[in-house]
């Protein structure tokens, strides 16, 4: 069974640009969550999608958005990039919509904003 | 609001020694608690989870954790450290009613020396 796949693995963008990151969950999983990991702030929840609906959102500005498709694949978009957006972006998928089920994480996308 | 505190950002042990990583949580409702491990340039892997079934939880790679409500703690232990245990460890709490939202501690980097 294939794991969670995030593409691309590494990305370099310039301030002011926008970026789209992709996450393919484990087959059959309907929940996808996104996290930002930085040395200063640690792991912070961005948002969670279940069956194409955003159910929960973290405290991030509106420049951060996401969506989920009917095949459960998810994308997140960051517009008007800032230097502080440099981070490892992780997505996690789980089979059910409940917190007590295991979340499987991808390897992440390392975004560098210059 | 729920939160997690990990005491000690860096822990160093000798190979074969006891590993003890500390985690305290704050939650107004019975929590779901998790320990994840992250190796360099990798995503997170679930070590174990507490979902109220048993207070002593056994996980993968010989790790276990004990839920102590009176101390609001969920410390991670392993009787004998291996070199391969060197990684960063994260304690997390599941948000009540927050579906798959996890709140992570700041992490503890474990070093194992010969």
Q: What is the pLDDT of residues A26-38, one digit of tens each?
A: 999 999 999 999 9
Q: What is the pLDDT of residues B63-98, one digit of tens each?
A: 999 999 999 999 999 999 999 999 999 999 987 666
Residue A11 parent element (H or E): strand A10-13
What parts of chain A have a pLDDT lower than 70?
1, 97-100
- Nearest CB to A108 within list B43, B46, B99: B43
Q: Which residue has the tokens 């502080």?
A: A84
DSSP label at A19?
E
**Mean per-residue pLDDT, B22-34:** 88
E strand intervals along B39-107 = 44-50, 56-58, 64-68, 73-78, 87-94, 102-104
User: In the numeric block, which tokens belong to residue B113?
Assistant: 């020396």
Distance from CA of A14 to the nearest CA of B (A): 22
pLDDT at site B39: 93
Closest to B3 measured CA to CA, from B73, B93, B101, B64: B93
pLDDT at site B101: 85
The answer to whether B44 contacts A105, with C-beta atoms less than 8 Å apart, is yes
DSSP label at B72?
T
pLDDT exceeds 80 at position B36: yes
pLDDT at site B51: 82
Instruction: Report yes or no: B15 and B114 within 8 Å, Cβ to Cβ.
Output: yes
Q: Which residue has the tokens 């960051």?
A: A78
Q: What is the pLDDT of residues A48-61, one digit of tens each?
A: 999 999 998 999 99
Q: What's the number of CA atoms in the CB half-sphere (13 Å) around residue A21?
A: 31
pLDDT at site A99: 67
Q: Which residue has the tokens 């996890």?
A: B102
- Nearest CB to B104 within list A43, A98, A101: A43
pLDDT at site A80: 97
Query: Degrees (nearest 5) of the Cα angle B20, B23, B25?
Result: 160
Torsion of CA B73, B79, B82, B85, to 10 degrees: -10
Instruction: Give the Cα separation of A47 and B14 in Å (integer).
Output: 39
The answer to whether A97 contacts B99, with C-beta atoms less than 8 Å apart, is yes
Instruction: Give the Cα separation of A32 and A38 in Å (integer).
Output: 20
- Sequence-distant (≥ 6) Cβ neighbours of residue B57 within 8 angstroms: B48, B49, B50, B64, B65, B66, B67
3-state secondary structure of A75: strand
């Amino acid at each position: 069974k294939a794991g969670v796949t995030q593409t691309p693995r590494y990305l370099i963008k310039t301030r002011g640009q926008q970026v789209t990151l992709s996450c393919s969950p484990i087959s059959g999983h309907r929940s996808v969550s996104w996290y930002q990991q930085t040395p200063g702030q640690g792991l912070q929840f961005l948002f969670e999608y279940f069956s194409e609906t955003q159910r929960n959102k973290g405290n991030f500005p509106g420049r951060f958005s996401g969506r989920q498709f009917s095949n459960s694949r998810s994308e997140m978009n960051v517009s008007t990039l800032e230097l502080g957006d440099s981070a490892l972006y992780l997505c996690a998928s789980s089979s059910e919509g409940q917190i007590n089920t295991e979340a499987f994480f991808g390897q992440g996308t390392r975004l560098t904003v210059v | 609001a729920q939160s997690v505190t990990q005491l000690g950002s860096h822990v160093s042990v000798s190979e074969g020694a006891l590993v003890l990583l500390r985690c305290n949580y704050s939650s107004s409702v019975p929590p779901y608690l998790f320990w994840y491990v992250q190796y360099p340039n990798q995503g997170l892997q679930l070590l174990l989870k507490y979902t109220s079934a048993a207070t002593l939880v056994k996980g993968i790679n010989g790790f276990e954790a004990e839920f102590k409500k009176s101390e609001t703690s969920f410390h991670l232990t392993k009787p004998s450290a291996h070199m391969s245990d060197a990684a960063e460890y994260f304690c997390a709490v599941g948000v009540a009613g927050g579906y798959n939202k996890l709140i992570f501690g700041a992490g503890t980097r474990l070093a194992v020396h010969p």
